Chains A and B, each alone.
Chain A
């Protein structure tokens, strides 16, 4: 299904992956398990011979979700629920849902109550990452997830199967990392939209299959430096709709680094395949970067952005703000001030799932980058 895709195919499927997931499930007879961001160890789900799919909203209209989640709830949470309630729910045999913030505090309850016939499990990753107990708890939760899936399916993978799953995921991250490097250094080769489509589809398709496509795509690329690109850093959790990447491409902005959960945070931390897989997965949890709902050093966000900016020699930071994401909204004023104080240009891009009109995004981004060119660039 996803073994021999062209870059163009990947972009089209990333826009709406569900028909292909549906066909894959029908052809293979395997079950599909959905999860939402962030940090659910998909390697574990995959080791059970299931397809882990990261649910990243729908662009179809909201019909049922507003009666469960009010309009001041994060638009991604509403969009995900809508996708399951109205459009693709039958595709999933189960869900593993993380508790990460106030919006997701009771979200797995809402899903469980609305899908009484499906497997619904919570994944309670620690919301602190600055003490030894956090590592203890990640390991406990991974073990509990294995127990829970095992109880549901009546079988449990051994360490070999877990390590094999980890290897497939490592390969996926490595391939995406190499493609990112090509894009970073030769922005004329892959557009922002194409690259982040590969990222997104990797979170939703069978990794072993899509790895083959990524490898072929990578081998077929001819590096093109391109002209007049401006290197930027993308900071945030996710970036949607994908047309935002069209805008960035139109403005000839080259994303050379990011902190997105469905971006670099997915790529961070290769997992060892030589030891205990649960220990190795727990280790990976702490190799990943800042994620707003997890408490850590209160300056970590800024320090990471600053380092990324300096390391990549980017010209500006674009902060992708998801409307009603409370975690981001507490961080943003201080982050903005610290970044500005450092002399780093920052542009805040307000987004909302289900957004149809992006003209304001284009106008504002255009104005920002024009002023930048007239100034420090």
Chain B
């Protein structure tokens, strides 16, 4: 038996060590910085600040169906149920201590990057008021299509990254080490390439991974990018998936993979495995989404690290125009040979969801493939209508069958 850890074992080891480090940060003279899943965390890593993602903690609780319990507590505190379920469940955790994990350490500072949404800024403001803590907002104006404007946006973002470095130096009373940042960037660039390679393995037929594998696999990219262990993890993961490809192993057997689907938005976390099973029963596999691709950065190591950081964080799908987002999704459709799409209107995530009706119109027109649109919430089960979703999924696959859109390789 090989001594080499599997990707699953490696993921657990990395996560355990990371959380251990986070809980002992102060003993080791480090600060804990809360940050957004999409944020230039490379600066935290280079400056030995332990990044903590309240979103990840929220996902763990919501996936374990703790949403209603935690969110209800928050509503009695005066917050409406329209707000992001991540934020509400986090406020609920602060109030009750209820969590399915060991929790997360309290923050010393906050870094909110609004390339993903503005909700995180407001969420962090609420937490900051509880401890009178500093919030740094890395403001990323929408990556509009004008070339000159984009250059100016990057300049503004670089200026802010310099301010962020000064902010970190002030809070830690330590000089920022640019050489260390270059090293961190090398790891981030390398792991991003491998992460993308992992996601792109969904191109194979049958696909060896579904979006559910991608959602599990993306965790390390979110919270450990900028480290050697992150690179090692994705190398291991890619090797494992490649072995499946070599053996022709798919999520569904080749003759049953009828529909290769695109998913728009974040997942419905508490229906994660149910959706995989349900879709599989119709010969459907969700292959990808722009969401999971949000962490496949393309850092250019020949550039000033602050410039390549600014360029990459500002052009995430959630901060791009709807037209650019449609181009990104269209590329995925072609690359992964997809023949169906599920457009999730996520009540929790306004920043991503309010573009969905327009995006759906563009994508259906471009691809000629009908879309299944459904509205629910990524974390609050009260907004999920089980029978309605099942009926719509069933009807959608009937439509695809009727239109003759099934993969030709699948059994009739």
Residues of A in contact with B (beta carbons under 8 Å apart): 67-70, 72-73, 99, 101-103, 105-110, 113, 122, 124, 126-128, 131-134, 136-137, 140, 144, 293, 295, 298-299, 324, 326-327, 329-334, 336
Contact between B141 and A102, CB atoms less than 8 A apart: no
CA distance A336 to B80 in the complex (A): 14
Contact between B323 and A334, CB atoms less than 8 A apart: no
Contact between B357 and A68, CB atoms less than 8 A apart: yes
User: Is B272 in contact with chain A by the CB < 8 A criterion?
Assistant: no
Residue ID in chain A nearest B345 by CB atoms: A70
B129 contact set on A, CB distance < 8 A: 298-299, 334
Contact of A295 among B135, B144, B318 (CB under 8 A): B135
User: Is B395 in contact with chain A by the CB < 8 A criterion?
Assistant: no
B345 contact set on A, CB distance < 8 A: 70
CA distance A67 to B351 in the complex (A): 16
Q: A326-B119, A329-B80 in contact; A99/B137 too (CB < 8 A)? A: no
Q: A136-B156, A334-B129 in contact; A68/B80 too (CB < 8 A)? A: no
CA distance A134 to B163 in the complex (A): 11
Contact between A102 and B347, CB atoms less than 8 A apart: no
B80 contact set on A, CB distance < 8 A: 329
CA distance A334 to B163 in the complex (A): 28
CA distance A336 to B156 in the complex (A): 35
Contact of A140 among B82, B128, B152, B163 (CB under 8 A): B152
Contact between A298 and B135, CB atoms less than 8 A apart: yes
User: Is B229 in contact with chain A by the CB < 8 A criterion?
Assistant: no
Contact between B126 and A330, CB atoms less than 8 A apart: yes
CA distance A133 to B140 in the complex (A): 12
For the complex of A and B, the 4 pairs showing the least CB-CB separation, nearest first, are A333-B78, A330-B122, A124-B141, A109-B322
Contact between A327 and B160, CB atoms less than 8 A apart: no
CA distance A133 to B362 in the complex (A): 36
Q: A127-B118, A127-B121, A330-B126 in contact; A102/B79 too (CB < 8 A)? A: no
Contact between B126 and A102, CB atoms less than 8 A apart: no
Q: How far is the CB of A161 from chain B (nearest CB, A)?
A: 23
Contact between A105 and B322, CB atoms less than 8 A apart: no
Residues of B in contact with A (beta carbons under 8 Å apart): 77-80, 82-83, 87, 112, 114, 117-119, 121-123, 125-126, 128-129, 135, 137, 139, 141-142, 144, 149, 152-153, 155-156, 159-160, 163, 318-319, 321-323, 345, 347, 350-351, 353-355, 357-358, 362, 375
Contact between B82 and A72, CB atoms less than 8 A apart: yes
Contact between A106 and B354, CB atoms less than 8 A apart: yes
Q: How far is the CB of A129 from chain B (nearest CB, A)?
A: 9
A329 contact set on B, CB distance < 8 A: 79-80, 82-83
Contact of B163 among A113, A124, A132 (CB under 8 A): A132
B77 contact set on A, CB distance < 8 A: 333
CA distance A299 to B132 in the complex (A): 9
Q: How far is the CB of B143 from chain A (nearest CB, A)?
A: 10
CA distance A69 to B355 in the complex (A): 8
Secondary structure at the B interface, as helix, strand, loop or mixed, is helix
CA distance A298 to B126 in the complex (A): 8
Contact of B354 among A73, A133, A298 (CB under 8 A): A73
Q: How far is the CB of A130 from chain B (nearest CB, A)?
A: 8
Contact of B125 among A134, A295, A336 (CB under 8 A): A295
Given contacts A122-B144, A126-B139, A133-B159, 10 further A-B contacts (CB under 8 A): A67-B357, A105-B351, A109-B321, A128-B139, A133-B163, A295-B112, A298-B128, A298-B135, A334-B129, A336-B78
Q: A295-B121, A326-B122, A330-B83 in contact; A70/B354 too (CB < 8 A)? A: yes
Q: How far is the CB of B91 from chain A (nearest CB, A)?
A: 9
Contact between B139 and A73, CB atoms less than 8 A apart: no
Q: How far is the CB of A61 from chain B (nearest CB, A)?
A: 19
Q: A295-B121, A330-B122 in contact; A133/B156 too (CB < 8 A)? A: yes
Residue ID in chain B nearest A334 by CB atoms: B129
CA distance A85 to B8 in the complex (A): 52
Q: How far is the CB of A4 from chain B (nearest CB, A)?
A: 42
A-B contact pairs, 5 of them (CB 8 A): A102-B117, A105-B355, A122-B144, A128-B139, A334-B129
B82 contact set on A, CB distance < 8 A: 72, 324, 326, 329
Contact of A131 among B126, B160, B351 (CB under 8 A): B160
CA distance A326 to B350 in the complex (A): 9
Q: How far is the CB of A348 from chain B (nearest CB, A)?
A: 9
Contact between B354 and A103, CB atoms less than 8 A apart: yes
Q: How far is the CB of A64 from chain B (nearest CB, A)?
A: 11
Q: A109-B323, A128-B139 in contact; A70/B353 too (CB < 8 A)? A: yes
Residue ID in chain A nearest B160 by CB atoms: A133
B144 contact set on A, CB distance < 8 A: 122, 124
CA distance A68 to B119 in the complex (A): 21
Q: A99-B142, A105-B354, A329-B79 in contact; A298/B125 too (CB < 8 A)? A: yes
- Which of B79, B128, B139, B347 has the largest count of A CB atoms less than 10 A from its CB? B139
Q: How far is the CB of B69 from chain A (nearest CB, A)?
A: 19
Contact between A113 and B358, CB atoms less than 8 A apart: yes
Contact between B355 and A106, CB atoms less than 8 A apart: yes
Q: How far is the CB of B338 from chain A (nearest CB, A)?
A: 23
Contact of B83 among A106, A144, A326 (CB under 8 A): A326
B319 contact set on A, CB distance < 8 A: 105
Contact between A106 and B141, CB atoms less than 8 A apart: no
A108 contact set on B, CB distance < 8 A: 142
CA distance A102 to B354 in the complex (A): 9
CA distance A293 to B351 in the complex (A): 13
Residue ID in chain A nearest B141 by CB atoms: A124
B354 contact set on A, CB distance < 8 A: 69-70, 73, 102-103, 105-107, 110
CA distance A73 to B350 in the complex (A): 8
